[in-house]
């Protein structure tokens, strides 16, 4: 069974459909984390400009840098997993298929956890920036 970028057909088995959907989902995760990598670089760059010394920049900057390292680690893991998934074609029993499906669920949880933590850091960054701009407005 060729997984990458295949359409789902009426005569595909449930397992084939699950593998195809999981592969599409994995591609989306990788694309999203690649975008987040660029976004983190930009956010870190904005903090490098140091809008004002009133910003609690070190704390947020450290969290952004840490999140960037975590993002890279997860992206590398997902890229490795994508390569590993090419061996799905060799599965010849349900136990093999279920091992891939179970592993995918583990990566899904890691991805969603990472997104939640990233969004929190990003929200904190924008709140800090917003508060700083509010202080700069003339009254």
pLDDT of residue 116: 98
pLDDT of residue 4: 42
Which residues in the chain come in under a pLDDT of 50?
1-4, 52
Question: b/e per residue, 32-56, with b = 16+ CB within 10 A?
Answer: ebeebeeebeebbeebeeeeeeebe
pTM here is: 0.85
Domain ranges of the chain: 14-136
**Dihedral sign (CA 17, 15, 82, 105):** positive
* Residue 118 confidence (pLDDT): 98
3 state DSSP class of 11: coil
pLDDT of 48: 74
Cβ–Cβ < 8 Å for 61, 49 = no
Q: Which residues contact 133 (CB under 8 A, 6 or more apart)?
A: 51
Single out the residue of 25, 26, 126, 21 nearest to residue 83, CA to CA: 26
The per-residue pLDDT for range 85-105, each reduced to its tens digit, is 989 989 999 999 999 999 999
- Residue 1, pLDDT score: 37
Angle between helix axes 14-49 and 94-136 (nearest 10 degrees) is 20
Token pair, residue 11, equals: 């005569």
The CB-based long-range contact list for 112-117 (8 Å cut-off, 24+ gap) reads 114/33, 114/70, 114/71, 114/74, 115/32, 117/67, 117/70
């Amino acid at each position: 069974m060729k997984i990458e970028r295949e359409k789902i057909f009426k005569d595909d088995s449930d397992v084939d459909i699950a593998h195809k959907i999981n592969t599409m989902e994995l591609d989306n995760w990788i694309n999203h984390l690649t975008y987040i990598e660029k976004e983190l670089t930009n956010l870190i760059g904005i903090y490098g400009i140091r809008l004002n010394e009133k910003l609690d920049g070190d704390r947020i900057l450290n969290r952004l840098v840490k999140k960037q390292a975590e993002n890279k680690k997860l992206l590398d893991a997902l890229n490795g997993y994508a390569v590993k998934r090419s061996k799905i074609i060799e599965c010849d029993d349900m136990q093999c298929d279920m091992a891939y499906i179970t592993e995918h669920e583990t990566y899904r949880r890691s991805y969603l956890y990472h997104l939640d933590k990233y969004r929190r850091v990003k929200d904190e960054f924008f709140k800090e920036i917003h508060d700083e701009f509010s202080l700069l407005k003339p009254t």
